[in-house]
Structure 1
């Protein structure tokens, strides 16, 4: 599955909270671990991740995330829900109820990676979660074997062995999609689709077709989602002084457009979200640091 042109991207540590809404608050209710993908699968897999929680004796908590334009293969144990699942690109805020005790071990595919790996049109999985056996009929009892392992590295090894055993040919269209998605994610000055088509010399209709086939969502949505994640991350870190300037940096026509879209996606206005995040951060800090 490897190819020398696979872009090198470091695995963000668990302390990197980008796209996680109310990040400090979430840390009270679950743990998060990330592991790098090995060379045998790194062409298509960006990294592995594990989330665990134990809410027994506590009220359920609803964890919220602004999803990336990626498909995830997950292995889950959560009450009566147990097994492996393919999670398509979620175009709205993702909300997961954490109740009782549970855990999820996941493989995060690169943008376009699942479509290239399987040869499937990823658009059919948009905003859907389906049992993995419906998509990967040879997956067998992998979920049981993964969940039986006590450590995340051992679980990663099993998943990598399964994925690495499947033949995947070189796909030049995937390479282009991956390169464009990386530029969208990393360059905050990319705020419009016409900037993308000009930089990569790709007609807009071709770009739309490639993104819907490989990613499951259009380029405009992907671009706006990355910039919205940037905005939420900056607000959670305390960037509240000039929302008009922040909106302009993110490519919005004005502050009103940014506020309207942010509120619709996140569920609260930008300043309210920032205050909530900072209050949670201060509460966590006060419990960790001794009083002076």
Structure 2
């Protein structure tokens, strides 16, 4: 019988370890911003979840406050026309795992090429602890070799096809993958996170440790090293993504039933968690649709 704590590279390259949920009021977002997602090349799939591209061109009087719920991932972005007060003055940035709602005011014209890494993907490639980047956005030059950053900074929205731009971005990243090699601890993290995402019945960390045969202490160490946030937080965020997706899809049942479906058995606790992350209560969010 294979060791459950040593998933294969095939699993790492094919299992989904992040959802596409999290954009609040996605229909309104789509009226202001064009979003495209692309799969990574197979040789980068063990580290990269997907590429995402934003384009917008808004009238001068329009300001659109886009809001995205956090994921247990890191993003590498090439940004043109974006004004993020928390970010350093650089075009190529790395945003670590954040635990709060991600707000950006969209205005004027702009373009962003983003690489969403799998949980732990960038730390495994670049050799740093994810916890050091929690709640931070830094210049990519602080983490990655200068030739990689220079190649990424040369990518721009020049009218090339998305596939051509993806090829340029991946050519810049590929030397990191070649040097990184095999990392069984990272592959274990991917198996754990994929299970958390896929199984809506996983609500407690103890269920994860029992199923995968790892101790709670080792689980915490792995998540600190590769993910930058704890496993309890990851479970809670994925279930909250499910809640928001259900509301966006037009959930017609009671909010108490919605809460219980995704693991909240105390309505006050559910409402507080939702408001702390989303900014309004579940009832207010549903009404604003």
Determine if the TM-score, normalized by the shorter chain, exceeds 0.5: yes
1:76 equivalenced with 2:79 (yes/no): yes
1:50 equivalenced with 2:81 (yes/no): no
| Residue matched to 2:101 | 93
1:127 equivalenced with 2:145 (yes/no): no
**Uncovered stretches (5+) of structure 2, i.e. residues with no partner:** 1-7, 84-88
**Uncovered stretches (5+) of structure 1, i.e. residues with no partner:** 278-292
Deviation of the 1:53 alpha carbon: 1.1
The CA deviation string for residues 100-140 of structure 1, in whole angstroms up to 9 with x for no partner, is 11111011101111121112101111111101011003224
Note if contact 2:140-2:149 (Cα within 8 Å) is conserved in structure 1: no
Deviation of the 1:17 alpha carbon: 6.0
- Alpha-carbon distance in 1 for matches of 2:262, 2:117: 26
1:227 equivalenced with 2:214 (yes/no): no
| Residue matched to 1:40 | 43
- Which of the numbers 142, 148, 151 marks the counterpart of 2:151? 142
Report SS of the residue matched to 2:257. helix
- Alpha-carbon distance in 2 for matches of 1:170, 1:20: 33
Per the alignment, do residues 193 and 17 of structure 1 end up closer, same or farther by CA in structure 2, a change over 3 Å counting? Answer: closer
- Which portions of structure 1, spanning 4 or more consecutive aligned residues, are displaced by more than 4 angstroms? 9-12, 79-82
- Which of the numbers 157, 162, 166 marks the counterpart of 2:167? 157
Note if contact 1:11-1:36 (Cα within 8 Å) is conserved in structure 2: no
User: If the length of structure 2 is used for normalisation, what is the TM-score?
Assistant: 0.89
Report SS of the residue matched to 1:51. strand
Figure out how many residues of one structure are paired with residues of the other and give that number: 273
1:268 equivalenced with 2:275 (yes/no): no
| Residue matched to 1:284 | none
Report SS of the residue matched to 2:14. coil
The CA deviation string for residues 162-195 of structure 1, in whole angstroms up to 9 with x for no partner, is 1112211211110110000011111111111111
| Residue matched to 1:196 | 208
- Alpha-carbon distance in 2 for matches of 1:240, 1:264: 23
| Residue matched to 2:3 | none
| Residue matched to 2:114 | 106
Deviation of the 1:70 alpha carbon: 0.6
Note if contact 2:16-2:194 (Cα within 8 Å) is conserved in structure 1: no
- Which of the numbers 67, 70, 78 marks the counterpart of 1:67? 70
| Residue matched to 2:86 | none
- Alpha-carbon distance in 2 for matches of 1:256, 1:58: 40
Report SS of the residue matched to 1:147. coil
Note if contact 1:240-1:274 (Cα within 8 Å) is conserved in structure 2: no
- Alpha-carbon distance in 2 for matches of 1:79, 1:212: 30
Per the alignment, do residues 11 and 206 of structure 1 end up closer, same or farther by CA in structure 2, a change over 3 Å counting? Answer: closer
Note if contact 1:83-1:143 (Cα within 8 Å) is conserved in structure 2: no
* Structural RMSD (CA): 2.0
- Alpha-carbon distance in 2 for matches of 1:47, 1:17: 10
